[in-house]
Structure 1
Amino acid sequence: MNRTIFIIILIAINIAIDQISKVWVRANFDYAEIKSIIGDKFIMQYVENKGAFLGMGSDMNDTLKLIFLLILPVVVLGYVVYYIIKTKELDRLSLIAFCCIIGGGIANVFDRIVYGQVTDFFFINLGGIFKTGIFNFADLSVTTGMIMLLFGSFLNKKKADNNLD
């Protein structure tokens, strides 16, 4: 498959999954309604986030929100798209990771532009072991992409170290 088409498809899939899930939540939940998926460990709660990750920046004035939650993300996402299209040496794992990050980023920026806020609805609480804030598929895409990049960098470093031996 053509590399650029592969990139576009991966980004579009990330955006589509996120946007379809948000439309479904807005249509099937009342605001702040909580539905248990797996006991109290995995729940869905419909909220709107006026800030960034975990509501950070929601108390900023409108000018700062415009700069840090719209303009800066659009510039960064645009650069990353340019980078992955131009950098043909990227391994497949890194390419997929960047597509997840871009797709999730675009999906949340889209929400901020269209709705003025981002729809969130997932919450995980595994007792004292692991607990999240309320998040969405776009957040999950970005986080997964970052984990994949970290994992890939360790693999590449190990491979480079082995080649030195």
Structure 2
Amino acid sequence: MNRTLFITLLIVFNIAIDQISKVIVRNTLNFREEIDVIGKYFQLIWVENKGAFLGMGSDMNPTLRFIFLLVLPTVVLAYVIYYILKTKELDRLSLIAFCCIAGGGIANVFDRIVFGQVTDFFFINLGGVFKTGIFNIADMSVTAGMIMLLFSGIFNSNKKEEIA
């Protein structure tokens, strides 16, 4: 498959899955309603987040929030897309990782532009062992992309040491 087409499809797929899930949540759940998927361990809870990760920045003045949660992420995402399109030496895992990060980031920026906030709805609480904030599929894409980049970096670093 053409590399540029692969990048475009993967980014669009990430955006589409996120946006479709948010439309479903907005149309089927009541705001702040808690739906137990797996007991209290995994729930759907529709919230709207004016800030970034875990609501950070939601109490900023509107100008700072616009700069730090809309302008800056847009510039960074544009650079990430430019980077992955121009850097032909990226290994496949890194390429997929960057596409997930870009797709998830674009999906959340889209929410901020269109709705002024981001729709979140997943919540995990493993009884004190592990507990998340409320998040969405775009957040999962970005997190998965970061984990893949970490593994790619470790894997490629080990490969270089073996060659040397």
- Does residue 160 (structure 1) correspond to residue 160 (structure 2)? The answer is yes
User: Cα distance, 1:162 vs. partner?
Assistant: 1.1
Percent identity between matched residues is 71
Which residue pairs with 2:44 in the alignment?
Answer: 44
Alignment of 1:109-128 (within 5 A): 109-128=109-128
Structure 1's unaligned 5+ residue stretches are: none
Gaps of 5+ in 2: none
Q: Which residue of 1 aligns with 2:33?
A: 33
TM-score (norm 2): 0.99
Q: Give the Cα–Cα distance (whole angstroms) in 2 for the partners of residues 40 and 163 of structure 1.
A: 49
The residue that corresponds to 2:57 in the other structure is 57
Cα deviations across residues 90-118 of structure 1 (Å, max 9, x unaligned)? 00000000000000000000000000000
Partner of 1:9: 9
* Mapping for residues 33-112 of structure 1, pairs under 5 Å: 33-112=33-112
Counterpart amino acid of residue 36 in structure 2: S
**Deviation at 1:128?**
2.3
Using the size of structure 1 for normalisation, the TM-score is: 0.98
Give 3-state SS (helix, strand or coil) of 2:37's partner. strand
Q: 4+ runs of 1 displaced by more than 3 Å?
A: none
- Matched position secondary structure for 1:37: strand
Aligned residues: 164
